[in-house]
Amino acid sequence: MRKRISSRGILPGFGLTMGYALIYLSLLVLIPLSILFLKTSNMSWEQLWMTVTDQRVLVSFRVSFLTAFCAACVNAVFGVLVAWVLERYQFPGKRIIDGIVDLPFALPTAVAGIALASIYSENGWIGQIFASWGIKIAYTPIGIFIALTFIGLPFVVRTVQPVLQDWDRQIEEAARTLGATRLQTFLRVIVPYLLPAIMTGFALAFARALGEYGSVVFISGNMPLQTEIVPLLIMTKLEQFDYLGATAIASVMLIASFLMLLLINFLQWKTNKFDAAR
């Protein structure tokens, strides 16, 4: 069966559709991104090195990657929890909550940024409480972390949810009858099954958080060497008409996030193989 179809080509008009796919991808993704490198190639290596190893740039890389990583980690844990609750339980208002999960997708990020900043600033509703304990949230890396957690949440929930949906509860029951405790069942049966989905969600949330600008600028305080994120530095360079500097930083960012995605995909592939082997 398979052979017959593949010899005829399972997609009718494969050449055409493939052509469209390639052109579409090129116009929207490949060409714009390669322009980035093309522009950077106008710089000498030394210039490039000077630009991207500037102390301020390095600090902003650290801030961006660290906060994005932490936010993605938190989302990986709590996103699974949300997906679990939505998938396993029936309760009134479930569909509404299910809809709310997507809000960070739909909301203009600037709106989110303004809302978060006003709630978490020293005089804000939540910020006040923390301020009385001497903890500043807005205008510190914690604020950036919160904004990035906010925008990353739906990625994990929406990748884990369908996998949970497909989950055969009999496996769980089998584990229980074989004497596994609830915790063992969860950690050794369910989590490994969910892991690839969680990692995909994590990678998506992480990648998104790295590039996030709108929601972060309002809450980060933008202090050089403290709370500047990489996208802000790119904006700063552009504002000085330093196109080259901006594209240089952008290219480094691009390569870094590409490597990150590659690594996570690799890990995912490993766990899949591990799963298949069992």
Q: Say whether residue 6 binds other proteins (CB under 8 A).
A: no
Q: Say whether residue 55 binds other proteins (CB under 8 A).
A: yes
Q: Say whether residue 224 binds other proteins (CB under 8 A).
A: yes
User: How many residues sit in the footprint of other proteins (CB under 8 A)?
Assistant: 35
Q: What minimum distance in Å lies between the beta carbon of 124 and other proteins?
A: 7
Q: Which is nearer to other proteins, 32 or 224 (CB)?
A: 224
Of the candidate residues 160, 218, 248, 264, the single one contacting other proteins (CB under 8 A): 218
Under 8 Å CB-to-CB from 227, ≥6 apart: which residues?
63, 139, 140, 141, 143, 144, 220, 221
The rounded distance, in Å, linking the Cα atoms of 36 and 30 is 10
CA atoms within 13 A on the CB side of 15: 1
The answer to whether 205 and 39 are in contact (CB under 8 A) is no
Q: Say whether residue 232 binds other proteins (CB under 8 A).
A: yes
Q: Distance of CA 195 to CAs 68, 185, 209, Å?
A: 20, 14, 20
Q: Say whether residue 98 binds other proteins (CB under 8 A).
A: no
3-class SS at 90? Answer: coil
Q: Which is nearer to other proteins, 117 or 210 (CB)?
A: 117
Q: Say whether residue 238 binds other proteins (CB under 8 A).
A: yes
Of the candidate residues 109, 236, 251, 268, the single one contacting other proteins (CB under 8 A): 236
C-alpha Rg value of the chain to the nearest Å: 23
3-class SS at 32? Answer: helix
Q: What minimum distance in Å lies between the beta carbon of 255 and other proteins?
A: 22
Name which of residues 146 to 205 contact other proteins (CB under 8 A).
none
The answer to whether 218 and 113 are in contact (CB under 8 A) is yes
**In terms of C-beta density within 10 A (0-12 exposed, 13-18 middle, 19 or more buried), how is residue 205 classed?**
buried
Q: Which is nearer to other proteins, 28 or 223 (CB)?
A: 223
Q: What minimum distance in Å lies between the beta carbon of 226 and other proteins?
A: 9
Q: Which is nearer to other proteins, 168 or 239 (CB)?
A: 239
Q: Say whether residue 128 binds other proteins (CB under 8 A).
A: no
Q: Say whether residue 56 binds other proteins (CB under 8 A).
A: yes
Q: Say whether residue 13 binds other proteins (CB under 8 A).
A: yes
Q: Which is nearer to other proteins, 54 or 98 (CB)?
A: 54
The answer to whether 252 and 48 are in contact (CB under 8 A) is no
- Give ∠ CA 141-146-150 in degrees, rounded to 5: 145
Helix (H), strand (E) counts: the chain: 16, 0
Q: Which is nearer to other proteins, 75 or 109 (CB)?
A: 109
Q: What minimum distance in Å lies between the beta carbon of 38 and other proteins?
A: 16
Stretch that binds other proteins, among 26-34, 110-118, 177-185, 260-268 (CB under 8 A): 110-118
Residue ranges of E strands in 226-276: none
Q: Contact positions toward other proteins, by CB under 8 A?
A: 10-13, 16-17, 20, 54-56, 114, 117-118, 121-124, 138-139, 217-218, 221-225, 232, 235-236, 238-242, 245
